[in-house]
Amino acid sequence: MLIVMDHRATKEQVDQIIAAVERMGLTAEPIPGSLRTAIGVLGNQGYVDDSTIRTLPGVRETIHVSKPYKMASRDFHPTASVIDIAGVKFGDGERPVIIAGPCSIETEEQMLAAAEQVKQGGGRMLRGGAFKPRTGPHSFQGLGIQGLKLLQQAGQAQNLPVVTEVMRIEQLDDVCKYADMLQIGARNMQNFDLLKEVGKTRHPVLLKRGMSATIEEFLAAAEYILAEGNPNIVLCERGIRTFEKTTRNTLDLSVVPLVRELSHLPIIVDPSHATGKRMLVPIMSKAALVAGAHGIMMEVHPNPALALCDGAQSLSGADFAELMGELNRLLEFLGYQG
């Protein structure tokens, strides 16, 4: 950490800061400049809590050099992690995984049809929501446990591992029972208690980036899960909130190579939620793979026009099959064997 003093700070104020740093068990190194003094803080093993320092007289600002995550960092874990979900692997060197399925689980027929389309197209995991986060309480909220069973049944019918969102701690046991992978949604990325409980399970987890989360906060959220002992995390970029409203969110593809540099955890992309527009899903899926994504999650529905949720961003089975052909050709070009 660097502590920048006001240019009017007195020597006494500088000495007071040095003493405060030393009380924290750290070392302070003053760096006198022509305009102001800065004080380097040394000896910390990670992020320094600067809240007491920032309040002392003469301090202009504090600048963090360490990050609020450590176990999620490449610095401490140089080897890329490969996460295995019932034989489907996410990570460097592994063929990117296509996860597909409807936004909401609606009926047995829908799920069996969706699973068949996903399998036929070459998808390797099945998704579907049983518990749905919706902006207002008057929208369809999902089928709950009954939905989990339908999801599991459809996945087993096609031998596809399944992933579904968990929204509250009490649902964890059921979701772990029926699903191969838990999803933490964007709105819960900083629901720290949920993260901790998921961290205690060791169940594979798909952690979506919050809609206004920085990369630093995203990796710090993963750190909550890692710190409880669960290393089985796949990250997911799903668009961030910006001033631009033509797309539902702004897909931040640069985060893919950045996360791969900063962290050892795999990262996939969800172009359906990021853009909110069906016509953008195929092209942004390809861009995401080229950017280095370890997988793509997209919405596929047997009949998008009848979907109870987010039909506008869902592909039909035929659309999906066509897209998968294109993605497979792209993956071959990128060096992955068929």
Q: Which CB atom, from 85 or from 215, has the smaller least distance to its own copies?
A: 215
CA distance 62 to 51: 9
Q: Does 205 bind its own copies (CB under 8 A)?
A: no
Q: List residues bridging with 101 in a β-sheet.
A: 299
Q: Does 338 bind its own copies (CB under 8 A)?
A: no
One character per residue 240-279, x = contact with its own copies (rule: CB under 8 A): xxxxxxxx--xxxxx--xx--x------------xx--xx
Residue 92 three-state SS: coil
Q: Which ranges in 179-267 belong to alpha helices (H)?
A: 192-201, 215-227, 255-262
Quick one: which of 87, 136, 335, 338 contacts its own copies (CB under 8 A)?
A: 136
- Contact window for its own copies (CB under 8 A) among 83-91, 119-127, 151-159, 161-169: 161-169
Residue 177 three-state SS: helix
Site for its own copies in 7-26 (CB under 8 A): 7, 20
- How far apart are CB 159 and its own copies at their closest, in Å? 30
CA distance 216 to 176: 28
Site for its own copies in 168-197 (CB under 8 A): 168-170, 187-188, 190-194, 196
Quick one: which of 11, 15, 19, 49 contacts its own copies (CB under 8 A)?
A: 49
CA distance 273 to 254: 17
CA distance 25 to 15: 16
Q: Does 333 bind its own copies (CB under 8 A)?
A: yes
Q: Which CB atom, from 158 or from 190, has the smaller least distance to its own copies?
A: 190
Q: List the one residue out of 335, 264, 281 whose CA is nearest residue 72.
A: 264
Is the sign of the CA dihedral 166, 168, 173, 174 positive or negative? negative
Site for its own copies in 97-116 (CB under 8 A): none
Q: Which CB atom, from 147 or from 155, has the smaller least distance to its own copies?
A: 147
